[in-house]
Amino acid sequence: MRMNETEKELVEMVLAGRAEAFEPLVTPYRGPLLALASRLTRDREEALEVVQETLLRAYRSLGRYDAARPFRNWLFQIAANESRDRRRRKMRERAAFTEVAGRAPAAADPEAGQDRRELREGIRRSMAALSPREREVFVLRDLEDLDIRETSRALGCSSLSVRVHLSAARRKLRQAIRRDFPHLEVG
Amino acid sequence: MMTCRKARKLVPLAAGGDLRPRPAAAFRAHIDACPECRRELEAFRKALGTIREEAKAAGVAAWGEDEWSALVSRVRAGAAGERSRGADRAGTAFRRCWAAASALGVLAASAILYMMFMAGPVPGRKTAPAGPGTVAGRAEPQEVLTMTMVSPETGLQIVWFFDRNFDYKGEQE
């Protein structure tokens, strides 16, 4: 999916100095960006900061954007990089960093039944237990539907690395679901 | 022919359609011939579908009221700040250029003035004869100054000599 004409025009307007064109350019991606950042950081406040920094970086480097590539994937790449940079900074800052799985409070999910809420909470916990790279790959490929090539491009790694981590992530998640929710495996 | 052990390793990727073409063909051939691995693939596919669906549907953060507008405003303000800092840098560079040019101008003017008033006499230069009844003098600072007096009645001409401090050094008719 290439960039559509409207986006192309908006990019050209921003590059011509019309800053007001930036908001309509990025507004369609506000939901996906926040969802991606939330899944990668597992902290809403931090996710908001990631989105803000992502947009600022996108604004600054819009001149280098390759229009042959989907704009969404380009934004995702910046957001994934920003999330990773933040995680590394945090890990450096905290010498004895101990991640508590399930640190982020579960979002209110009133319409889901009890079983479903438990399942979602279980998936969230299992995702939190993945390695950072496994989580990134799983989120981009399975939840944001980027293909292997775009995922590898977004993460700056080889497609082989993406496949290895994706396979590990899926296997771990499936094992966790099988262990905690055996009834889902029946039939 | 692919073994079951090898096929099981590929199941997580195969379940999402993420195998490269060549292994995918070998995997398909094995699955077609192996009911156990086919069941495993189907079970994994189902589990992956559930995980994807529920993880996508799980309450991810939504934008609060006015939160998005505030964030975009901050981004635009940040970008504008960078631009104005850039403009400031350009303005500062421009002012610096002008300051340097002005300093050079002052320096050049000082050098010219110094050469005009403080440097020694130019060899071969002669004082133009003064008009009758006037005092002609050299205003240029030099080692020896001369002052010429010409009488309009007699045509007598006297030249007085002074040093640079205007001390009288002699005269010549």
Q: What is the ipTM of this complex?
A: 0.77
- Whether B155 shows a pLDDT value over 90: the answer reads no
Higher confidence at residue A69 or residue B19? B19
Mean pLDDT of the region B130-151:
62
Which residue, among A136, A135, A141, A117, has the nearest Cα to A173 in the 3D structure? A135
Q: For chain A, which domains are there?
A: 1-108 (1.10.1740.10), 112-187 (1.10.10.10)
Q: Give the best-scoring range by mean pLDDT among B54-58, B127-131, B154-158.
A: B54-58
Cβ of A167 and B12 within 8 Å?
A: yes
Nearest to B77 by CA among A33, A78, A19: A19
Q: Do B159 and B127 meet the contact criterion of CB atoms below 8 Å apart?
A: no
pLDDT at A152 over 70: yes
Average pLDDT of chain B, as a whole number: 77
Residue B109 pLDDT exceeds 60 = yes
Which of A19, A124, A142 is nearest residue B80 as measured by Cβ atoms? A19
Question: Do B59 and A184 lie within an 8 Å CB cutoff?
Answer: no
Among A101, A156, A85, A167, which residue's Cα sits nearest to residue A134? A167
Q: What strands lie across the sheet with B144-150, from one edge to the other?
A: B135-137, B144-150, B157-163, B168-172
Asked if residue B1 has pLDDT above 90, the reply is: no
pLDDT of residue B40: 95
pLDDT at B164: 76
Nearest to B61 among A34, A52, A112 (CB): A34
- What mean pLDDT comes out for the span B142-167? 77
Q: Could you tell me the two tokens for B162?
A: 């002074």
pLDDT of A167: 97
Contact (CB, 8 A) for A75 and A54: yes
Task: Kindly report the nearest CA distance between residue A84 and chain B, in angstroms.
Answer: 19
pTM: 0.65
Over residues B85-100, the pLDDT tens digits come to 655 555 566 566 677 7
Residue A101 predicted with pLDDT over 50: no
